Structure formats: structure tokens, C-alpha cells
Structure 1
């Protein structure tokens, strides 16, 4: 990157225009530059950095760009790989040799000198290349590719044209991500605000039906004017589910939410049987299993429950288990009193 992009002669805009779709260059040029700089500067430190969809697309396209250059330059290895690069390749080749005794050291090294091979080595998937088709199919009501391939189109939201992004006020395309965002908001208000007080009556936690009522009102306010409908205690064939949410009345945008207190004797049954049966009988694709915790012991129990209930069958794979952390928090005045007693 230093030789090809970040030098005194190259116009980074020319590189970006060649690598990325025209709409990204036209609408989000400054972000493109920032993401490019991120990737370059991250190579200069020893920290693990988390790439987003923009970084992934840029890196993938840049590798393809460099692979094309490599075809035309016979001494590419001497020009673009410095001493540090040679040492890293040497170390990686020795590691590969230990794992695969069939190849020679030179064959292992040659692999790392072929830029064409880098995308296969670095990327588990390249779903971002399908973004146009994924969005257009979804617009026409077909989300089958997303569903069967397990693609979360929301991850690529920032790569969409701006006019499409502006259409989604929540910055999410799927209702699943919208609800996850809402639950994250509740968690923050519980931890750093006083929202948890609604779930207590004096020293006693409220009953489960009261928790449902509070959640219903919170969701009504949170989803106001977002074309999301909420139905409480909806009848679904063989029983009632706590909440059923719709988005724009689209079949693929319907989600179930089942709530249980962590102290409930039906906690396991509610997940393994009740909610699973609801999804099967109603043909719903996604659901949330919300567990309300009121004590540290209940919280720890729920964390363990989540660890022990990670399934990969076609139904439970799409059930999101979330914690509604209703534990009491120490207020600033209580903390001050505690500190005073300690002193």
C-alpha cells in the first residue's frame, strides 16, 4: 500500500475510483479515504483491529488490483515485498510446513508471494460481492439466499447507496437487527439509567405479566412511526406467544418474542419446546427468547443457560437468547454512603 497508494505521486482518489463501485466513490468519498487509511495504518502497529464491511470490500478489491499488477511485473516480489515482509512469509511458511508435511518449504513460501491467493487465505466469505442482488431480491420479497446462506444483510448496510440507507430510519434493514438494537438500548438504560426501577415494587421484583406490560409500552414508544406493529399474547395455533412483531406486513419481517423470568421452572421448556413449536406451527423464521434476571445468581444462571443451549438445527439456530438485566443498581448516593462507611 505504501508503494502503490500512500506516496507523494499517487492520487488516492484515482485508486478508489478504480477499485470501488462508482456510487461509493461519488457519495462516500471521504469515508472511502478514511477506511483505506485505516487498513494502511493498522499494518504499522501490533494490535488486533476489527474490520467492518467497508474495510473488507476495500481490502478485497485492493488485493485483486495488486494481483493484476503482479501479472505484468516480473520482479514484483523484489519491488513490493520488503525485508519485514520476507521475514513474515518465512515464518508463516515454516508454520504451514509443520502442519502439512507434503509441501516443501519453498512451495509454502511461493504461496504467500502470490497475491492472487490472498483473498482465499484472508476471507471466509465474500458476501459483499452479492450485495446488489441480495438487496434487489429482498426488495422483490425474496430473502431465500440470505436465509439459506446465513447472510446478515445489515452488516453491509453502510455499503448501500445513500438513498436506500435513508429509507431505513433505524439504520437496519432486517427487523431482527432493529429488535437487537432496541434490546441493547434497554440494557444501557438499565445499567446507566434508572429504567430497572420499573421492574421492582419495593424490594420485590414484579410478576412476569407486569414485565410484559412494561415491555409492550417501551416497544410502542421505541418503534413509534417505524411501521412496526406489535401484538401481545398473539394466538399461534397451539398456544399464545408473548409478542409478535411485524414490519411493513411483510411475511419475512415477522418475529416472535417469548419472555421468561430466570427463576421460572419453565425456563428450559419455554426455549426447547414452547417457542420452537410456535415457530414451526406459524412458519416464523426468527425469534427472541428474553430472560428477565433480578439477582446476580439469576444472571449467572442465565449466562450458563445460554452457553448450554447453542443449537444448530433449522429452527433454534434462529432463536436469539437475550438477557433482560433487571438487577438493582447502586445509586450515586448509595455508592457515596458505602464509600463513607469503608473510609
Structure 2
């Protein structure tokens, strides 16, 4: 079962599963024929097998009871399939009779009744009719359709203009797999933005802390190392991680009235400049977030930053998690500050039997 942005998960999953079964997985239709009809040429030409696999996943997922989350590839293909079915509905007078089975109709009646009870502005019949209008589905099921602008977004970014991304809050990295292969190959880390690359690096560090012995570097004689040592270790990790990626890393960079721990720079695009500030959990975490890092961002043109909280004990970790939950801001500065935890707590060694 695919998790859609609606209360009526079962109804819409049933509908799409039946659509896919009748139109594609009927034992007679060639999946490739449908792919060529609904998708852009570059996509099915370069990533044909992935397109087939994705459509198969949509079919299987809508038919089981587990909750599945779609990625950009799933969303794009499902949207195109809905568009295709919408055109088919306009062409076939008997579409509703043919493509909505008894189970779908029962679930639609139940969902319509619930909608009517919550919103009596429309009649029960009008609520029910909306479930039979395929062109209405994208408005209900997708929180956004930014993937339809992927060519415009990329081309504008290539020209140095990311105004659309900024104004709409679009993360172009999310749609990376929808780009032509030759463009993807230009970005070895599979991230277009430096922010995405930093996020990937932090994920790598988190995995090494959790599953490896990296955390041992942050302890000395049973005591946590100083912040300066944390910076030094992370600087070396970043140097290695961003090797040959044209990323300039400056430690203890002067900005405004103070020094930020790290300043990363890639090119002239605004989101290719990132600040990183590290704070031990036992220190003034709130002040560093609300005042210090915000001031650094205001004094520069850097719109993206990472605030890393170093935790060495369970108590520090719990307090930091609480801090993150309680400090979600929506103003233009802190909206682009990503808070992450550096979990330096000691791990228990596996017992030897």
C-alpha cells in the first residue's frame, strides 16, 4: 500500500492496483509499449529497466498491506500513468464501468461518506463523483508536482539562476534520478547541491560512528576531546570526502563578529555555499543556534548551514533530541539551518562467546 497524502489510502490503492492490472499487467500488454507512450523519450531510452521495475513496484505495492513510500521516480511515473488514464477516461464512454471493480466502488462509497460527514458543503453524490474523476487525482495525492519542472529547474541552475528553487523551496537533489544520464554522470556523488553533498557526508559519518570505531577518535583517556579536536578530525574527513570535487573548505573562517567553524564553497550559486558550526551538547547549544550561527548567515550571502551538536553521553543525546524537536523555525534564516547530532557516545564491545 502506497502512502498517499490522503486519509483514503485503501480506496486509492485499490483503484490504482486495478488500473495497473487492467491496463498493463493483464498478461497481454507489453509494459514497454506503455512506457514509451507515457514517459519522455530520454527517460525510457536511458533507464528502460528502471522504468519497468518502478511500474512493477507500483503494481505490487498498491496490492499489498505494507506501507510503501515513493521516491521521485515512482511519483513521476505514477503521475504520468494517471495522466494517461485520465485521457483514456475522456475517450471511453464506458470507462467507469470497465475500470472500477466492485471492491473499488465499495471503498469509494465508504470514503465519500466520510468526506461528506466532514464537509457537507458538497453533497454525498458530489463527493463520490470526485473519486471517479481521474484528472482530480493528482491534486489529492501529490503534495507537489515539482518533478514536472525538472528540465526548467536544471537549465536555470546551469545558467546560475536558482530563484525558482528558492521561492518554491524545491530540493533539486530529490529529483536527481530523473535527469538524463549524461548530466547525472557530471555529479559523481549523485548530488547537484553542495548542501546535498554535505548531508551525504554527515550520513557517512553517522554510519561510521554507529557501526565502526570512528567514535574512538573523539575520546582521550576516558574524556571527551575538546571542540578544537573535533574540528580537526572533521576537517580531515571532509578533505578526504570532497577530494577532487572542487570544494573549498575553510576552518575558523572570519565572518562578521566571529569565526564560524567551517565555511564550504563550490561555485557562484547561492546554495553552493555552506556554513558548518559545531557545538558540544554541554555548552550553550541554544545560543549557538539562535544567535551565533544566525548572525554568521546574516553577515554573509550564505543561505544554507549545518548546526552539529556533539553528544558524548545518553543525557546529552536525549537533551539534544529534545532541543531539535522544540526548535523548528520557519523564518527565512533558520529555515535553511539543518540540525544534526554527532553521536560520539561510547559503544559497548560485542561479547565474545
Fold equivalence (TM over 0.5): yes
Superposition RMSD on alpha carbons, in Å? Answer: 1.1
Q: Which runs of 4+ in 1 moved over 3 A?
A: 248-252
What whole-Å deviation, never above 9, does each CA across 1:262-308 have from its counterpart, x for those lacking one? 001x2111100110010011021100001100000000010001011
Higher-RCO chain (CA-CA 8 Å, sequence separation at least 6) = 2
Q: Output the CA distance in 2 between the equivalents of 1:148 and 1:271.
A: 24
2:339 to 321, 335, 339: 321
- How many positions carry a matched residue from both structures? 334
1:66 to 81, 85, 88: 85
1:308 to 323, 326, 330: 326
8 Å Cα contact 2:263/2:273 also seen in 1: yes
State how 1:148-159 maps to structure 2 within 5 Å: 148-159=167-178
Give the CA deviation at 1:9: 2.3
Tell me, what secondary structure is at the counterpart of 2:297? helix
Q: Output the CA distance in 2 between the equivalents of 1:15 and 1:297.
A: 55
Gap regions ≥5 residues in structure 1: none
Q: Residue in 1 aligned with 2:259? A: 240
2:311 to 280, 290, 293: 293
Give the CA deviation at 1:251: 4.2
What whole-Å deviation, never above 9, does each CA across 1:141-165 have from its counterpart, x for those lacking one? 1111111111000000000000000
Q: Output the CA distance in 2 between the equivalents of 1:250 and 1:220.
A: 21
TM-score, normalised on structure 2? 0.93
1:123 to 126, 142, 149: 142
Give the CA deviation at 1:253: 0.5
Q: Residue in 1 aligned with 2:52? A: 33
Give the CA deviation at 1:116: 1.1
Answering whether residue 226 of structure 2 is matched by residue 207 of structure 1, we say yes
Q: Output the CA distance in 2 between the equivalents of 1:242 and 1:141.
A: 27
Q: Output the CA distance in 1 between the equivalents of 2:236 and 2:224.
A: 18
Answering whether residue 76 of structure 2 is matched by residue 57 of structure 1, we say yes
State how 1:159-170 maps to structure 2 within 5 Å: 159-170=178-189
What whole-Å deviation, never above 9, does each CA across 1:210-257 have from its counterpart, x for those lacking one? 111111111111111111110000011221100000114544311000
2:290 to 259, 272, 279: 272
State how 1:134-283 maps to structure 2 within 5 Å: 134-248=153-267, 250-264=269-283, 266-283=284-301
1:91 to 110, 116, 121: 110
8 Å Cα contact 2:160/2:268 also seen in 1: no
Q: Output the CA distance in 2 between the equivalents of 1:184 and 1:108.
A: 44
8 Å Cα contact 2:161/2:269 also seen in 1: no
Q: Output the CA distance in 1 between the equivalents of 2:271 and 2:143.
A: 27
